[in-house]
């Protein structure tokens, strides 16, 4: 079961890295910029999570994610043209990556801190912080905070929240993990299909 | 005495969070953006301080600050209109928050590192780094580094510096804390009232 | 031999700090902005490296770098006019700083993690991350990721890579250090003289 999680995780890293690499291509950056912006969404959120939890940074312990992100950056560098026309496919893969990242992040934070509040915050951080850094480096307001994004952080919040709830109710392990991942993915998918968005403040 | 400090601290978190939430509202961000930008000034500087000092991050140890910042974000979301017209009141509350943050940050850094230099740097960091992150995410040159700001970082510097000086002279505990907080607040308040600003470089 | 390395290191900090201070002057920032932007390139990359490696942050252990960066900021504040006309001299000093930072960073990361992959990543990070933060705060796309920069990160990559290779081949200590530093400096110098740049993605 954890093998399946590992392959999902690498798939999430791959797709997140492509999102960053494509942003770099769109900004006309060079190969180094493409690599850095591929790494940010792929490992940035998890790095902040591990630093805040005072745990060994996951890509120091095992460099799999780095290699996968580098391969994604290289492929994007070579085939950027073809990838852009497959944006629709990428959005769904990205939703899967987000669902996985936020739940795995929440699980780790819950084990270390014991606080559902911290678990939800760092679950969302794992899912979205790398993308925020990507957008900040690209000199843009982060996509995840804009009204034109469909429940991105919200999906991560629901995923992390459902995991904490199930853990609290005693459904530990794979059941809680997959239920939470399904919740996050469904939330994001429905929001994209139905056009759901978070409101702005009343002014 | 430390109870009083706790309530002051929460008040500082509350006002700093409102400053971030209002920035998000002004940029037309959605509710998630408002929450993130509320959290940045409220807990960002202290998080960097704790990471650099290799101490447990304060909001992992106790989540009070997070709750207060979330409440501030929620209230700003609902009542942004009314808050904007009370900007003058907010500036003074912000000055109080800054004074407290920089001195409490300097105290913690001095205890851990023993170096006044490190204490002053991390005191200023605690006071201003969260606001810098807020402005960077908003895609703006940080307010605290601009000539049109009145002694913001300078007030934090004086607050942290006076605390270190009094500690060096043997006035430990509450006396040093409150004298330093008063120094920082007075510096900022005088600068606002008199229009004092830091100079630009001669060119 | 390590004394020589120390003086080189301080010279690198000095020049990197000037690069940040000048960026702040160009943006019309005040004295505090000049100090912050001087500190970012000077100690920012090494700080991230130490946090990720879970090592004590180097400028907490020894504040030499902070003092040198503050002096550089002060001199830039006073003599910005004269420095700008010496940009050509600064570029070469910056290349030397980059060469040293990336190799020293790679050495530290290799000792702590034992992984050449991690060593190269954190070597490059030590060399360029501070400059990225400087540019992000200045609200600009980081120079190091733009096509108009000559092999900046590439030079850091070669420096860190050569160090790891020589370490792997058994040439530990000063020989590996200086060979790697020479490689990084030569790469950067040749790229500047010959106009070498990294390619953009094909679109």
Encode pLDDT of C72-81 as tens digits: 999 999 988 7
Q: Is residue C203 part of a domain?
A: no
Q: Is residue A40 part of a domain?
A: yes
Instruction: Please report which helix (H) or strand (E) contains residue C41, including its range.
Output: helix C31-53
User: Are C22 and C84 a contacting pair, CB within 8 Å?
Assistant: yes
Q: Is residue B100 part of a domain?
A: yes
Q: Is residue B181 part of a domain?
A: yes
Chain C residues touching A59 at Cβ < 8 A: 118
Distance CA B161, CA B102 (A): 10
Select from B32, B37, B63 the Cβ nearest to the Cβ of A115: B63
Hey, is C6 helix, strand or coil?
Answer: helix
Summarised one tens digit per residue, pLDDT across range B154-179 is 999 999 999 999 999 998 788 999 99
Interface residues of B toward A, Cβ cutoff 8 Å, are 24-25, 27-34, 36-37, 47, 51, 54, 56-57, 59-60, 63, 66-67, 76-78, 80-81, 136-139
Chain C residue whose CA is closest to A76: C201
Chain A residue whose CA is closest to B136: A136
Compute the average pLDDT of residues C46-56.
Answer: 96
When mean pLDDT is compared across A41-50, B148-157, C179-188, the lowest value belongs to B148-157
What value does the mean pLDDT of chain A take?
A: 91
> Which has more confidence, A82 or C96?
C96
A121 and B24 within 8 Å at the Cβ level: the answer is no
Quick check: A192 pLDDT over 80? yes
* Neighbors of chain B with 3 or more C-beta pairs under 8 Å: A, C
Q: What range defines the domain where residue B147 resides?
A: 2-194
Quick check: C56 pLDDT over 90? yes
Select from A51, A66, A138 the Cβ nearest to the Cβ of C117: A66
User: Are C127 and C142 a contacting pair, CB within 8 Å?
Assistant: no
Distance CA B100, CA B103 (A): 5
Q: How far is CA C69 from CA A14, B30, C35, in A?
A: 39, 39, 8
Q: Is residue B199 part of a domain?
A: no
A33 and C145 within 8 Å at the Cβ level: the answer is yes
Q: Is residue A200 part of a domain?
A: no
The DSSP secondary structure of A17-49, one letter per residue, reads: HHHHHHHHHHTT-BHHHHHHHHHHHHHHHHHHH
Query: How many domains in chain A?
Result: 1
Question: So what's the pLDDT on residue B203?
Answer: 65
C141 and A37 within 8 Å at the Cβ level: the answer is no
How many Cβ atoms are within 10 Å of A28's Cβ, its own excluded?
14
Shortest distance, CA B149 to any CA of chain C (angstroms): 9
B121 and C47 within 8 Å at the Cβ level: the answer is no
B136 and C138 within 8 Å at the Cβ level: the answer is no
Q: Is residue B202 part of a domain?
A: no
Quick check: B1 pLDDT over 70? no
Confidence of residue A180 (pLDDT cuts 50, 70, 90): very high
Question: So what's the pLDDT on residue A66?
Answer: 96
Q: Is residue A142 part of a domain?
A: yes
Mutation test of the interface with chain A: which of C201, C202, C203, choosing the one with the most A Cβ atoms within 10 A?
Answer: C201
Q: What is the dihedral of CA A32, A38, A43, A45, to 10 degrees?
A: 110
Select from B54, B118, B145 the Cβ nearest to the Cβ of C33: B145
The HSE-up count of residue B142 (CA atoms within 13 Å, CB side) is 26
Tokens (6 digits) for C68: 């040198």
Distance CA A12, CA A100 (A): 7
B145 and C78 within 8 Å at the Cβ level: the answer is no
Hey, is B200 helix, strand or coil?
Answer: strand
Chain B residues touching C57 at Cβ < 8 A: 52, 54
């Amino acid at each position: 079961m954890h093998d399946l999680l590992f392959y999902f995780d690498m798939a999430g890293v791959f797709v997140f890295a492509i999102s960053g690499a494509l942003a770099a291509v769109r900004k006309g950056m060079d190969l180094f910029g493409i690599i850095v912006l591929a790494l940010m969404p792929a490992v940035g959120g998890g790095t902040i999570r591990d630093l805040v939890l005072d745990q060994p940074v996951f890509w120091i312990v095992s460099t799999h994610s780095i290699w996968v992100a580098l391969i994604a950056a290289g492929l994007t560098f070579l085939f950027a043209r073809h990838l852009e026309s497959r944006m629709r496919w990428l959005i769904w893969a990205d939703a899967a990556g987000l669902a996985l990242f936020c739940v795995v992040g929440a699980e780790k934070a819950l084990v270390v801190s014991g606080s559902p509040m911290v678990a939800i915050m760092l679950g969302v951080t794992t899912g979205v912080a790398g993308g925020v850094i990507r957008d900040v480096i690209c000199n843009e307001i982060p996509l995840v905070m804009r009204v034109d994004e469909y429940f991105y952080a919200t999906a991560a919040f629901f995923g992390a929240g459902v995991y904490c709830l199930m853990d609290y109710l005693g459904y530990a392990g794979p059941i809680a993990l997959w239920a939470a991942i399904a919740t996050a993915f469904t939330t994001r998918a429905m929001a994209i299909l139905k056009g759901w968005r978070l409101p702005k403040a009343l002014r």
